[in-house]
Chains A and B, each alone.
Chain A
Amino acid sequence: MKRLFATAALAAALALPAAAQDTIKIGVITDKTGTAKFYAEPVTDGTILAAKSINAAGGVLGKKIELLIEDDQNKPDVSATVARKLVDAGVVFILSNSSTTATQQQQTVSLETKTPQLTPTNSGETLTTQIENPYFFQTGPLFSYQIGTLLAYTKAKQYKRVALMTDNSELGQLVAKSFKAGLEKAGVQVIVEEVVQRGATSAVPQMQKVRAANPEAIFQAGVLGPEMVLFFRAYHQLGMKTPILGSYNLSIPLYLTMAKGLMDGIVIVDAYDRDKPEVKAFEAEFEKEYKRPAFNLNAYGYDGVRLVVDAIKRAGSTDKEKIRAAMQATKDFTAIIGAKGMKYTFPPGKRTGFDPNGVVVRLIENNTHGRVVHAGQQ
């Protein structure tokens, strides 16, 4: 009897690592409790759905994929710590769904531990330029593509003098900087640049200045919800009619409830076209799983896992170095995100995989994110 137990225990001990090896672990860093939660969590919902659907279809390399999800509270220091925790837990890849600043900090870990890492949403230009990290990849629509697309859309109007509106968050400042650089490169002068402070109670002083400067258009680059609502309210209060062109932050549906009725007629940057067949299929699958309609952020997370699994498949192995090389070799991978026909490709020597012509411009009509009115930077 004793012997039987010993055998059973031995079998169990042997079986355990075997069972653990049956899955391929992918780490996910998201923000469940901090300031980035409202855009990180929808991305993670898409991530979970994609993993589930890939597993239902048999997984990859004959194994199921297992997501290890960690909360970083959108705090860069916590973010790096949980990245290390994931590496220690044996993940072969890290998906970064939190904010740009958190992702930046995680790179210290991916570089040191040689773990491939991808952010499917982050748009900060500096993520791939600040440190030379061959393990890091980015497929979010870069800010420079966003402003380039807005400028292409307004080409016929030939704006010469415009206003730039943002908030004092780190990300808001980053978007504004990229937008300003893009505008100036195109020969458009930013005649007034205004900042709404976090926690402000009014944007009337800023909008009075914009009104007094009389620009041809207002480019919006802020990311803080309440502060941007102050901007829209002051715009309406002061009876302004200047066209507003918004960053992709405004494509988050929450704005439609926060600034209800205040955004009609505004055009915004997005990377989502509901008329695409891929999007239609994705939306049907998402709604079936979560019993609520899908939106753009869910699709970013969905694409992220598909890209990683595709790289693992082409690598034919769970060796991190081989997966990294396969990810770098990603070419013409059909995206759910982006304009019609958009594909992800990492050009040689580049680790940004979003198609420069994949950004679209959408019009807000009847308090909904309406039709695509323009695509690409030409």
Chain B
Amino acid sequence: MSDFLELFVSAASSGCIYSLVALSYLVMIRPTGIINFAVGEWSAVGLFAAFFLLSNPWLPLPYGVGIVLAVAFSALIGWGTQRIAVRPLVEKGAPILGPILALLGMLVVFRESISLIFGPDPHNVPAPFGMRQVAIGPFAGTPRDFFIIGCTAVVFAGVWLFFERTVWGKAFEAVALNRKAAALMGINLRRVTVAAFVGGAAIAGFAGVLYSLTAPRDFLLGLPLAIQGFSALVVGGVGRVEGAILGGMILALAEQFTARYADQVGIPSGLSLGVPFLLMIVFLLVRPTGLLKPKEARL
């Protein structure tokens, strides 16, 4: 049983990172319909910005300040990406595939820029947390795990409140439900798009900062993370914020529990590597909207 709970904490902290990446996709998809596979590179931007700020000997920053600045920098990059790769295409009336492909191009630009600036070696982002196991009640994990879980809970609560309780959030929802009608009702579509990309990039950047707590990472980290986040999104559904966290958790639990227990029921544990893809395929076939369906419009 203690093994089980220990593994649960480990899987939950991995799931939190996947969930945040899924949330980043979701925040952009809802109002714009654009699937942005560059989210993984934005996580890399967040991680390397944190590395730069926190391991710079001339400018020793407290951890909290460093990561807030790294997230702010990611948000800025999100704004810039939107300005360069999305807005001109949307304003010229390009079909939705236009910005999606442009963003895929940006993915390569980000990845190669990071490799040029920071080189190919994995980098360790300094963090003030130990790696010794501690227990909170029956749950045992590292302080890093608990920090990741706590931060993710705060982000999700914030985004949920934004969508449910603020006028801006309602505007997002309105645009998601009917773009034209929303524009006619006086919602500024351009501003909603900007907010979606800035918010999405900040969330992805923060996911990158949390990801840095797991191991040193190199410039190639983006794509695997983008794929995990996308799988989580497919499982949970793009309709609701809760879907992202549910999807991320299911994915990570499935992944780590098969790695741990699959061979005890006669399935080779090597197959756990395929679990995310298997889940994605099953969901796309059986329940393409994901587990949680979007709420109906309240009239």
- A interface residue numbers (CB < 8 A to B): 33-35, 37-38, 168, 194-195, 197-199, 201-202, 204-206, 208-209, 212, 225-227, 229-230, 233, 236-239, 254, 257-258, 260
Contact = CB atoms under 8 A, between A and B. Distances in A.
Contacts of B190: none
B91 interface: no
17 contacts: A35-B120, A201-B211, A201-B214, A202-B13, A202-B14, A202-B214, A204-B10, A205-B11, A208-B7, A209-B260, A229-B122, A229-B215, A230-B214, A230-B215, A237-B132, A238-B6, A238-B133
Given A209-B260, A226-B217, A239-B133, A198 B224 contact: yes
A205 B215 contact: no
Contacts of B122: 225-226, 229, 254, 258
Interface string B1-13: 0010011001101
Contacts of A34: 120
Chain A interface main SS type: helix
Interface of B: 3, 6-7, 10-11, 13-14, 17, 115, 119-122, 124, 131-133, 142, 211, 214-218, 220-221, 224-225, 228, 252, 256-257, 259-260, 269-270, 273
A230 B133 CA distance: 14
A35 B122 CA distance: 10
Nearest to B15: A201
Given A205-B260, A233-B131, A199 B221 contact: yes
Nearest to B119: A37
Chain A to chain B: the 7 pairs with minimum beta-carbon distance, closest first: A199-B224, A205-B260, A204-B10, A201-B14, A205-B259, A226-B215, A37-B120
A260 B218 CA distance: 17
Given A212-B3, A236-B131, A206 B120 contact: no
Interface centre among A37, A205, A238, A254 (most CB of B within 10 A): A205
B131 to A, nearest CB: 5
A236 B130 CA distance: 11
B120 A38 contact: yes
A226 B221 CA distance: 10
A293 to B, nearest CB: 17
A136 B224 CA distance: 36
A226 B216 contact: yes
Given A38-B120, A201-B214, A202-B256, A236 B7 contact: no
A326 to B, nearest CB: 36
B146 to A, nearest CB: 13
